[in-house]
Amino acid sequence: MSQALAGRSHQEECRIVIPDDDPPVMARSAAFRQKLTAYDVQLYSSRPATPEDLITRIGDASIVINIRATSRFSGEVLSRSRNLRLISIWGTGTDHIDLEAAKRCRIGVTNTPGVSAVAVAEHTLSLIIAVAKRTVTIDHEVREGKWPRALATQLQGKTLGLIGTGTIGREVAKLAKGIGMHVIAWTFHPNGSAAEWVPFDEVFRLSDVVSLHVRLSAETAGMVRRQHFELMKPAAIFINTARGPIVCEPDLIEVLRADRIAGAGLDVFETEPLPPDSPFFALPNTVLSPHSAGITPEATEAGLALAIENVFAWLAGRPTNVVV
């Protein structure tokens, strides 16, 4: 157990703050009603407007349960939250937290890995199918009184290329194999038989569908660029349900405008929500969703419950799902 995570007993008083439950998920959850009623909990139903606002909301709390990645736990926020000892994240992403600063401030960070893997994998498959079958475009045309008979892509026998084979990537591989796709993959630490392992560039060169499943970090930010899209087949599809900044977005927009690849299914973007003038809105070969891949009732409740259980484990001196 790290020094930062030296826990306290359940009996010792602690103050818990949930600074960003907007839109509300924690306030509506059974886990919140059933597990936190005995604790001093302050829940905010809006998002902090500024770093100063976040610091004010944290106040003298020793524990934060973080709901939204828009709450940025910078080095300054962490250093000025003098009583803070644990940030329990609902979700897996940690790019909104200065982890090195958390270590220096002896603040533990936990997350909820795996709980939304099935939901994200299903959403990934739905985007693949929607783009391949041109479902959204054809639906619009039929509603306009047209009767399009254009050919759609058949996925059975095609190759799915995964960038990253963590819990989500492996679930996507299972679903793809279930509809008869061949799965190849690149990952930082390949092991097992989830896919046929190939070099990074070969995923783009060989695949009919490329799907991203790595975490956003200094190592992965901007890792997919124009040179990789140029390797893809003209009929290939690009899918991103990971994080927007992993992709150089202007490069992706350029190849989609030029029909250099067949299309893209995107759940994540560099700027969220998408601004009103986003170029993606004018691209008919894209299917867009609002960073909602992991949001199902089942995954949401399981994740919130695990975020709370991580607090209990830390209080008992047996921290689980530790990031730092």
- Residues marked active site are found at 243, 272, 291
- Per-residue burial over 156-193, b = 16 or more CB atoms within 10 Å of its CB, e = otherwise: eebbbbbbbbbbbbbbbbebbeeeebbbbbbbeeeeee
Q: Rounded to 10 degrees, what is the CA torsion of 6, 7, 13, 15?
A: 80
Tokens of 3: 């020094």
**Tokens 């958390």 found at:** 102
DSSP 47: -
Long-range residue pairs from 103-107, CB within 8 A, at least 24 positions apart, any chain: 103/4, 103/324, 104/75, 105/78, 105/79, 106/3, 106/4, 107/4, 107/78, 107/81
3-state secondary structure (DSSP) of residue 89: strand
